[in-house]
Amino acid sequence: MTKVSRFSIPDIEALPQDIRGRILAVQEKSGFVPNVFLVLARRPDEFRAFFAYHDALMEKDGGLSKAEREMIVVATSALNHCQYCVVAHGAILRIRARKPLLADQVATNYRKADLNARERALLDFACKVATESYAVDDTDLDAMRANGFDDEDIWDATAIAAFFALSNRLANVTAMRPNDEFYLLGRTPKET
User: Which range, of 15-23, 24-32, 65-73, 129-137, touches a second copy by CB under 8 A?
Assistant: 129-137
User: Which range, of 18-26, 28-36, 63-71, 177-185, touches a second copy by CB under 8 A?
Assistant: 177-185
Q: Which of 38, 72, 130, 186 binds a second copy (CB under 8 A)?
A: 130
Go through 103-112 and write b for each residue having 16 or more CB atoms within 10 A of its CB, e for each that does not.
Answer: bebbbeebee
Go through 120-148 and write b for each residue having 16 or more CB atoms within 10 A of its CB, e for each that does not.
Answer: ebbbbbbbbbbeeeeeeeeebeeebeebe
**Counting contacts by CB under 8 A, is residue 10 touching a second copy?**
no
d(CA 47, CA 167): 12
Q: Which of 24, 108, 148, 191 binds a second copy (CB under 8 A)?
A: 108
Q: Cα 121 to the chain's mean position, in Å?
A: 18
- Give Cβ neighbours of residue 146 (< 8 Å, ≥ 6 apart): 121
Which residue number, 28 or 169, has a Cβ lying nearer to a second copy?
169
d(CA 165, CA 178): 17
**Counting contacts by CB under 8 A, is residue 168 touching a second copy?**
yes
d(CA 176, CA 108): 20
**Counting contacts by CB under 8 A, is residue 158 touching a second copy?**
yes
Q: Which of 24, 117, 146, 184 binds a second copy (CB under 8 A)?
A: 184
What is the contact surface with a second copy in residues (CB under 8 A)? 6-8, 42-43, 45-46, 48-50, 52-53, 56-57, 60, 78, 80-83, 86-87, 90, 100-101, 104-105, 107-109, 111-113, 129-130, 133-138, 141, 151, 154-155, 158-159, 161-163, 165-170, 172-175, 177, 180, 183-184, 187-188
